[in-house]
């Protein structure tokens, strides 16, 4: 990125000063090395978001930001409905509520090594993965609508999960305001056989070891112990969320024109929050959030079933489940007064600090766990919200962030070779797609350690523990 066009605020904060029709500045959180490696498109897209009506305070980009559809991946923006604020399907993304959940196991690395091959095979057999993957679950119309309203709570009611999980999921496992009538029949049709499936792309189920603890007190409160093992699942709302994104991006283009909104680019299609289409999108998007929460709950149940065969004395409690691609109504103090805002986080994680009223009692003392995915060959992190002024509307990065496109990665690596190289390092990969493995090669991502260190220095979230992969079931 050409930094000559930015104003450096400090060693981790860069500002795009408002010019032309920008309503607020753009803020990019990065150190010098990360920002120089970022695509110029990140700055361009961050500035374009700052042109949308009703935006509050600034348009933000997290340290893992890269070029996305309309908004940058890693983009955060809040809109005030009483000032003409908008909701944008591009600002949420196609994989609505894609997110991460981690389960504790109490098992050691040695426990896993003793059964690693068989455990990897069993997980791959139990977890449907890949393009168009389907599970044995099939929902009729009534069951679909109940799932879209009930989220993870619905999955628990069906026997796919445990009631104790719900307190450890954003929104207590169920997003209020979901309206199945706003979800098209085509979207429901696509999802009918996809509950409890991992999908493709960067989605995964990973067995990870706690390699290093940075914050012993918070790690102990979260149940993280060096040398012990977690199960982490990264997945979203599958075909239903993608269909909702596709349909509303199409429909929001004429809606924006009718509302007199001049779009900097078509991919920022949006509608006033108070408009009929804005309200329909929110009803559909919240239903998609519930779909993702239910899907991850079911996948967690499948993982528990496999572990129960190998380690029947271990029950795998949920550490936390957090979403990435959402628009949520939150109260934030801006200009010295509390305001109810519609916060878009696209490839960004909510990161509430200690004592936040929306956190469950069990986590209020430490703050919200922030689960950061790395790549199948490097590492992942558990962070915690810092609550120091709520930078970026209490948001943090969501992963390492891509350093190159999937197309470029495919030209550089072969899937079989990636699997073999990782096996030599003790990391077993199971995937139905060699192409998918090549696209997601570890070298295609930024240095996750550098990204989370910058997030910490910028005051977005604090490091708690670093995780390393042992087994990865890749979509």
Helices and strands in the chain, H and E counts: 16, 19
113/116 Cα distance (integer angstroms): 5
Is residue 164 part of an annotated ligand binding site? no
Q: What are phi and psi of 253, to 5 degrees?
A: -60, -55
Is residue 136 part of an annotated ligand binding site? no
Is residue 223 part of an annotated ligand binding site? no
Is residue 344 part of an annotated ligand binding site? no
**Largest CA-CA distance found in the chain, in angstroms, rounded:** 64
105/20 Cα distance (integer angstroms): 54
Q: Around Cβ 279, how many Cβ atoms within 10 Å?
A: 17
Element (H, E) at 230: strand 228-235
Is residue 407 part of an annotated ligand binding site? no
The active-site residue, picked from 242, 332, 398, 407, is 398
Is residue 295 part of an annotated ligand binding site? no
Q: Are strands 461-474 and 428-430 parallel, antiparallel or unpaired?
A: parallel
Q: What is the DSSP letter of 72?
A: P
Is residue 215 part of an annotated ligand binding site? no
Is residue 203 part of an annotated ligand binding site? yes
- CB 85 within 8 Å of CB 342: yes
Q: Which residues of 153-176 are buried (b: 16+ CB within 10 A; e: fewer)?
A: bbbbebebbbeebbebbbbbbbbe
Q: Which residues of 401-437 are buried (b: 16+ CB within 10 A; e: fewer)?
A: bbbbebeebbeebebeebbeebeeeebbbbbbbeebb
Instruction: Give the SS3 label for residue 240.
Output: helix
214/176 Cα distance (integer angstroms): 36
73/79 Cα distance (integer angstroms): 18
Is residue 123 part of an annotated ligand binding site? no
Is residue 400 part of an annotated ligand binding site? yes
Is residue 95 part of an annotated ligand binding site? yes
Is residue 135 part of an annotated ligand binding site? no
- 130 Cβ contact list (under 8 Å, min separation 6): 198, 199, 200, 431, 432, 433, 436, 475
248/121 Cα distance (integer angstroms): 39
Is residue 373 part of an annotated ligand binding site? yes
394/303 Cα distance (integer angstroms): 31
Is residue 395 part of an annotated ligand binding site? no
Q: What are phi and psi of 97, to 5 degrees?
A: 60, 20
For residue 308, give both structure tokens: 């129960």
Beta strands in 304-404 (DSSP E): 318-323, 326-334, 337-346, 349-350, 369-372, 380-385, 395-396
Residue 398 among the catalytic residues: yes
Q: What are phi and psi of 111, to 5 degrees?
A: -60, -45
Q: Which residues are annotated as a binding site?
A: 95, 202-206, 234, 324-325, 373-376, 380, 398-401, 474
Q: Which residues are annotated as a binding site for GMP?
A: 202-206, 324-325, 373-376, 380, 398-401, 474
Q: Which residues are annotated as a binding site for Mn(2+)?
A: 95, 203, 234, 324
What amino acid positions are annotated as catalytic residues? Answer: 398
């Amino acid at each position: 990125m050409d930094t000559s066009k930015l104003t450096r605020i400090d060693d981790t904060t860069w500002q795009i000063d408002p010019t032309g029709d920008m309503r607020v500045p753009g803020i990019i959180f990065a150190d010098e090395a990360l920002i120089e490696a970022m695509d110029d498109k990140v700055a361009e897209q961050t500035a374009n978001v700052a042109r949308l009506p009703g935006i509050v305070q600034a348009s933000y980009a997290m340290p893992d930001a890269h070029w996305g559809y309309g908004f940058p991946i890693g983009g955060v923006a809040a809109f005030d409905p009483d000032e003409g604020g908008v909701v944008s399907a591009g600002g949420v993304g196609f994989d609505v509520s894609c997110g991460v959940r981690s389960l504790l196991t109490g098992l050691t690395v040695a426990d896993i090594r003793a059964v690693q091959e068989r455990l990897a095979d069993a997980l791959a057999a139990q977890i449907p993965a890949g393009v168009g993957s389907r599970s044995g679950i099939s929902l009729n119309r009534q069951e679909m609508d109940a799932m879209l309203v009930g989220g993870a709570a619905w999955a628990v009611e069906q026997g796919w999960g445990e009631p104790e999980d719900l307190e450890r999921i954003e929104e207590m496992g169920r997003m209020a305001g979901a309206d199945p009538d706003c979800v098209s029949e085509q979207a429901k049709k696509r999802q009918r056989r996809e509950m409890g499936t991992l999908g493709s792309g960067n989605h995964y189920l990973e067995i990870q070891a706690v390699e290093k603890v940075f914050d012993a007190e918070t790690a102990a409160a979260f149940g993280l112990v060096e040398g012990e093992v977690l199960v982490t699942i990264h997945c979203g709302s599958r075909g239903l969320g993608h269909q909702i994104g596709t349909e509303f991006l199409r429909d929001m283009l004429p809606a924006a024109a009718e509302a007199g909104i001049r779009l900097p680019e078509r991919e920022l299609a949006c509608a006033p929050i108070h408009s009929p289409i804005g309200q329909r999108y929110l009803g559909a998007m919240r239903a998609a959030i519930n779909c993702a929460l239910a899907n991850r709950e079911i996948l967690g149940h499948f993982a528990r079933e496999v572990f129960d065969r190998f380690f029947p004395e271990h029950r795998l409690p949920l550490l936390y489940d957090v979403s990435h691609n959402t628009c949520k109504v939150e109260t934030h103090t801006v200009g010295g007064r509390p305001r109810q805002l519609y916060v878009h986080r696209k490839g960004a994680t909510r990161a509430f600090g200690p004592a936040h009223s929306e956190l469950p009692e069990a986590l209020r003392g430490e703050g919200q766990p922030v689960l950061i995915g790395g790549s199948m060959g490097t590492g992942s992190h558990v962070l915690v919200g810092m609550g120091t002024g709520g930078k970026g509307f209490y948001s943090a990065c969501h992963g390492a962030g891509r350093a190159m496109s999937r197309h470029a990665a495919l030209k550089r690596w072969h899937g079989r070779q990636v699997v073999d190289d990782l096996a030599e390092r003790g990391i077993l990969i199971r995937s139905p797609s060699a192409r998918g493995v090549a696209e997601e090669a570890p070298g295609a991502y930024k240095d996750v350690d550098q990204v989370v260190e910058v997030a910490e220095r910028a005051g977005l979230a604090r490091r708690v523990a670093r995780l390393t992969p042992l087994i990865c079931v890749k979509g």
